[in-house]
């Protein structure tokens, strides 16, 4: 058991919804040493629950959301934003004030969650991402005033089990985290898809283009992580010989305003998060 998971060792952790994010996080928790018998998960349909049970035979599965809520200290609300209110209605009469509700839903605010769950409920808004499935997750966290120090530490432990986590001090920054890292894997995937496709058109076998693209993305990310005192622009300049091949490519990306496109894309994500907040509030 990892040190951070030790913090959770006496706690029970539940998931409302057994989709992609829930499966990623609960898989990471089990891999880090939290026993499957300490984890509860509910979903309306059987398929995803059965698949999880086959993988982790000691996991507690049910179709009853209230059963999960009543059994655990940490309740991860891992349903789509527009489902949040109806899924939580199943346990709206329960006293959750001694538990910690952790939403992973994009946009849904603490205020909405407190309206649904009760004003005195400790609520954390989290924004994880799918690389959590393989231990490379990046999660942003925000806590309302009811969350205790112990609950904060346990929440960090949950997400550190599947990658890294950072706390933000203002709730609206969770929408910024959504744009940068929650949705982020898809941005890099699109870039890599384009690189692989062009690599193929330039004559490389698909497998070779894919292997080179993936290793290059991994290498670039690792260089950023391992040189945290160095400006990313400097790492870029180190690749770029004056009048060379990189300069030719970067000139083209800048001519087509890549930085501008990225800015517009991330701003669109933030705008959509705010729209999802409205939908969840209805
Ligand atoms: N997929 C991603 O990359 C990320 C998703 N999120 C957030 O995670 C949440 C879930 O997303 P995914 O896991 O991708 O979706 P998903 O569709 O894979 O999972 C949602 C699950 O909720 C279940 N569900 C539907 N109604 C329910 C109810 N009344 N009670 C209990 N469970 C119910 C569905 O059957 C499904 O298994 C969303 O709110 C999303 O904003 C956050 C970060 C990244
Ligand atoms: O696309 C979405 O709304 C969710 C939230 C972040 C990643 N997937």
74-77/13-16 β-pairing = parallel
> Do residues 8 and 74 both lie within one domain?
yes
Cα dihedral 232, 130, 163, 128 in deg (nearest 10): 90
Structural domain count of the chain: 2
Q: Would the CB of 86 count as within 6 Å of ligand 1?
A: yes
Residue 212 located in a structural domain? yes
Atom of ligand 2 nearest to the CA of 127: 6
Residue 267 located in a structural domain? yes
> Do residues 138 and 189 both lie within one domain?
no
Q: Which domain holds residue 201?
A: 184-277
> Do residues 198 and 161 both lie within one domain?
no
Question: Which residues lie below 8 Å from residue 179, measured CB to CB, with a gap of 6+?
Answer: 265, 266, 267, 269, 270, 273
Distance 245 CA to ligand 1 centre (A): 44
137-143/123-127 β-pairing = antiparallel
Residue with tokens 């076998």: 205
> Do residues 128 and 233 both lie within one domain?
no
**Which pLDDT score is estimated for 215?**
98
| 65: number of Cβ within 10 Å | 24
User: Are the C-beta atoms of residues 53 and 113 closer than 8 Å to each other?
Assistant: no
Residue 163 located in a structural domain? yes
Q: Which ligand is nearest to the CA of 104?
A: 1
Q: What is the DSSP string of 196-247?
A: HHHHHHTT--HHHHHHHHHHHHHHHHHHHHHTTTS-HHHHHHHH--TTSHHH
Q: Would the CB of 181 count as within 6 Å of ligand 1?
A: no
Going by alpha carbons, the residue nearest to atom 24 of ligand 1 is 17
> Do residues 169 and 193 both lie within one domain?
no
**Which pLDDT score is estimated for 282?**
73
Extract the annotated binding site for NADP(+).
16-21
**Which pLDDT score is estimated for 2?**
64
Residue 207 located in a structural domain? yes
Write out the two tokens for 71: 């059994």
**Which pLDDT score is estimated for 257?**
98
| Cα–Cα distance measured from residue 104 to residue 137, given in angstroms and rounded to the nearest whole number | 13
> Do residues 144 and 197 both lie within one domain?
no
**Which pLDDT score is estimated for 280?**
81
> Do residues 31 and 75 both lie within one domain?
yes
First to last CA, the chain: 42
> Do residues 140 and 218 both lie within one domain?
no
In degrees, to the nearest 5, what angle opens at C-alpha 128 toward C-alphas 123 and 132? 130
> Do residues 189 and 161 both lie within one domain?
no
pLDDT digits (tens, 9 = 90+) for 230-274: 999 999 999 999 999 999 999 999 999 999 999 999 999 999 999
Q: Would the CB of 17 count as within 6 Å of ligand 1?
A: yes
Q: Would the CB of 106 count as within 6 Å of ligand 2?
A: yes
Instruction: Pick the last residue of a domain from 134, 149, 174.
Output: 174
Query: In terms of DSSP H, where are the helices of 108-163?
Result: 110-117, 149-160
| Cα–Cα distance measured from residue 71 to residue 38, given in angstroms and rounded to the nearest whole number | 9
Extract the annotated binding site.
16-21, 65
Atom of ligand 2 nearest to the CA of 273: 3
| Cα–Cα distance measured from residue 110 to residue 102, given in angstroms and rounded to the nearest whole number | 10
Is residue 54 classed as helix, strand or coil in its secondary structure? helix
**Which pLDDT score is estimated for 26?**
94
> Do residues 169 and 203 both lie within one domain?
no
Question: Shortest CA distance to 99 belongs to which of 136, 65, 124, 80?
Answer: 124
Q: Would the CB of 129 count as within 6 Å of ligand 1?
A: yes
CATH number of the domain within which 33 lies: 3.40.50.720
Residue 282 located in a structural domain? no
> Do residues 205 and 94 both lie within one domain?
no
**Which pLDDT score is estimated for 205?**
98
> Do residues 162 and 106 both lie within one domain?
yes
Q: Which residues of the chain have pLDDT under 50?
A: none
* ipTM for the complex shown: 0.98
CATH number of the domain within which 255 lies: 1.10.3730.10
Pocket test for ligand 2, best of 81, 182, 185, 265 (most atoms within 8 A of CB): 182
User: Are the C-beta atoms of residues 4 and 160 closer than 8 Å to each other?
Assistant: yes
């Amino acid at each position: 058991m990892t040190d951070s998971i030790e913090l959770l060792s006496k706690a029970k952790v539940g998931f409302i919804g057994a989709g992609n994010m829930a499966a990623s996080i609960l898989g990471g928790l089990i891999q880090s040493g939290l026993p499957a018998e300490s984890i509860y998960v509910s979903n309306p349909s059987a398929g995803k629950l059965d698949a999880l049970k086959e993988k982790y035979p000691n996991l507690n599965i049910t179709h009853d959301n209230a059963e999960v809520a009543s059994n655990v200290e940490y309740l991860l609300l891992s349903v789509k934003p527009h489902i949040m209110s109806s899924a939580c209605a199943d346990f709206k009469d329960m006293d959750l004030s001694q538990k910690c509700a952790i939403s992973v839903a994009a946009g849904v605010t603490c205020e909405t969650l407190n309206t649904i769950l009760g004003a005195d409920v400790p609520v954390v808004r989290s924004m994880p991402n799918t690389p959590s499935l393989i231990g490379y997750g990046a999660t942003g966290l925000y806590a309302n005033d009811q969350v205790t120090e112990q609950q904060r530490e346990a929440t960090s432990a949950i997400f550190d089990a599947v990658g890294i986590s950072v706390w933000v001090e203002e709730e609206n920054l969770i929408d910024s985290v959504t744009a940068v890292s929650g949705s982020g894997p898809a941005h890099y995937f699109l870039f890599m898809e384009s690189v692989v496709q062009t690599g193929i058109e330039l004559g490389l076998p698909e497998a070779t283009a894919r292997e080179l693209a993936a290793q290059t993305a991994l290498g670039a990310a690792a260089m950023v992580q391992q040189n945290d005192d160095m400006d990313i622009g400097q790492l870029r300049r180190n690749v770029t010989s004056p009048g060379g091949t990189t300069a030719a490519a970067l000139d083209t990306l800048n001519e087509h305003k890549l930085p501008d496109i990225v800015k517009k894309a991330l701003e669109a994500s933030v705008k959509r998060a705010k729209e999802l907040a409205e939908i969840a509030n209805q």
